[in-house]
Amino acid sequence: MRLSTSPAWEKLQQLAETNSTIHLRELFAGNAHRFKEFSLCHDGILLDFSKQRINSEILTALHQLWNSSDAPDLISGMRNGEEINLTEGRAVLHTALRYSGPKPVMSNGMNVMTDVRRVLVQMEKFCTEVHQGVWRGATGQPIRRIVNIGIGGSDLGPKMAVRALAAHGIPQLRVEFVSNIDASHLLSVLCDCDPATTLFIIASKTFTTQETMQNAVSARAWLVAALGEEAVAKHFVAVSTNLDAVAKFGIDPANSFEFWDWVGGRFSLWSAIGLPLALAVGMGNFRQFLAGGEAMDQHFFSAPVDQNLPLTLALLDIWNTNFLGADTRAMLPYSQSLELLPRFLQQLEMESNGKRIDRHGAVLDYASAPIVWGEAGTNGQHAFYQLIHQGGHLIPCEFLALIEPDVDLPGHHQKLLSHCFAQSEALMTGKTQSEAEAELGHAAAGTSTDRQRVLAVNKTFPGNQPSSTLLLPRLDPYYLGQLVALYEHKVAALGALWNINSFDQFGVELGKQLANRLLPMIEGNAPLSGVDSSTTGLIYACRRPAKR
């Protein structure tokens, strides 16, 4: 049975129609215990979803949608190492990367934990050598700058986490990231680096990713020009499985950190892809990060649906996307340390679930992933909140705040929280025209009646914008691990419900294939054939010298 023809789906469609005119103001006015009824706590994390446009009947129907679907079986298959990534014939075992228990985790008849723990030991040894000055560059100086060269999952996750945990950083080390093949990205980082104290991490599973390898080759040339060919072995390490290519590049295979095909790129932060994070904050903190992820795993796999944080977030996305018709979701962290979280979640959610074909090859007859976007508060308030409040679009919002600040100055954190809570309240309640007129009051004295009316209309806010607020006790490695794993499981649950494969990304591959075909034409090494007139015109325009 297709999801959209299930009784639970049809029930939710009916509920969406019958509740379409009810305002969040009414829901709060009619239920003094709404916050208690529509919030969850786990291990110090609070999820308040009382400002979502749901009631107890809708929530029950969402739980029934999950329980009556094949999704629980797919999640169980993921946990058990089954090849649920069916298009690529792979298991999906990123949870094994943070598992600390004694039981084996099997894939293709092998216990993957043996390799996972071997690489963790290798990472710990390397981080200790760098931090203690045992690993030194070619001139004998200790490493002071780490430059991670990768793209996608080899960049977004570790970059977000290093920024998030800056307050826990090793003082003498600075970690930078280069991903864009645009030369300005690499050069803007290198201009502030000393070759004698810089270590490069080349993060590419196949060691063939075009953007990563071009940046790696240019970084290598920069180093060799300063220190000579022999310096490469002391200033480059790799995170890859292609040891032959690593060796040809000049990196000792002993300094290559392995990860595996059952680790998807956007789920790989827990693996050796997290090496820049381990270097930035220390291996002890990295293990705390793993522990936080494992704690969320245990919660997700064991908590009932009505107490399950990732499932609740997933079901709210289902409601807003498939039944209220929302096309986007704004991710709004009120923490500057989490400023890169929206960008990280864009890849995690949209690359995973931005699919229109189900697991059986049929075209979906419902929407899948919403467009994820956002910015750290309070900056976003002075950019796009106007649109959310008065633009006429349905935009579910997800607020994220810290109970304790990770970096504090007197007077800052309380004001930050006041803005966060005020925005969610304003989006919920809005302001009626009569309230706006009363608020204007004497301030509008002396203006014409028409002018007063125009002012009141412009100061009216529809409200009824759904939002959730996630409160973390603090931003430390453990709770960051919980947060990342929370969204990973939300993504997996959504993909399972929508009956799509969340673990391939063929949409990414198409552009790469076309770029490889066009490159020799742009370089002038191949004739322009089989190319549309627009692309032909663009290539010719780039071949001509620019006029000043």
Each residue's pLDDT expressed in tens, for the chain with a length of 548 residues: 789 999 999 999 999 999 999 999 999 999 999 999 999 999 999 999 999 999 999 999 999 999 999 999 999 999 999 999 999 999 999 999 999 999 999 998 999 999 999 999 999 999 999 999 999 999 999 999 999 999 999 999 999 999 999 999 999 999 999 999 999 999 999 999 999 999 999 999 899 999 999 999 999 999 999 999 999 999 999 999 898 999 999 999 899 999 899 999 999 999 999 999 999 999 999 999 999 999 999 999 999 999 999 999 999 999 999 999 999 999 999 999 999 999 999 999 999 999 999 999 999 999 999 999 999 999 999 999 999 999 999 999 999 999 999 999 999 999 999 999 999 999 999 999 999 988 888 565 556 688 888 999 999 999 999 999 999 999 999 999 999 999 999 999 999 999 999 999 999 888 889 999 999 999 999 999 899 999 999 999 998 765 55
Q: What is the DSSP letter of 322?
A: I
pLDDT of residue 198: 98
The distance in angstroms from the start CA to the end CA of the chain is 63
pLDDT at residue number 409 = 96
pTM: 0.96
Residues 224, 186 contacting (CB under 8 angstroms): no
User: Is residue 216 a contact partner of residue 232, using CB atoms and an 8 Å limit?
Assistant: no
Q: What per-residue confidence (pLDDT) applies to 1?
A: 74
Strands 39-42 and 45-48: antiparallel
Please confirm, yes or no, whether 512 is among the known catalytic residues: yes
Catalytic residue, candidates 248, 382, 393, 415? 382
Strand partners, 330: 373, 397
Residues listed for the chain: 548
**What type of residue sits at position 326?**
A
Instruction: Specify burial of residue 487 (Cβ count, 10 A radius: 0-12, 13-18, 19+).
Output: buried
Name 499's Cβ contacts closer than 8 Å, sequence gap at least 6.
Answer: 2, 3, 70, 358, 359, 360
CA dihedral 258, 260, 264, 267 (to 10 degrees): -50
Q: What is the pLDDT of residue 441?
A: 82
* pLDDT value of position 315: 98
Report the pLDDT value the prediction gives residue 237, as an integer from 0 to 100: 98
Question: Is position 351 annotated as part of the catalytic site?
Answer: yes
Report phi then psi at 181, rounded to 5: -70, -10
**Strand arrangement of the beta sheet that strand 145-149 belongs to:** 174-178, 145-149, 198-203, 236-239, 256-257
Counting DSSP H helices and E strands in the chain, the numbers are 23, 13
Name the phi and psi angles at 42, rounded to 5. -150, 120
Instruction: Supply the pLDDT for residue 545.
Output: 66
Which is nearest to 82 in space by CA: 361, 369, 359?
359
Q: Where are the alpha helices (DSSP H) in 47-202?
A: 56-67, 71-79, 113-131, 156-164, 183-190
- pLDDT for residue 447: 67
Active-site annotation holder among 176, 294, 351, 398: 351
**Active-site annotation holder among 125, 393, 415, 512:** 512
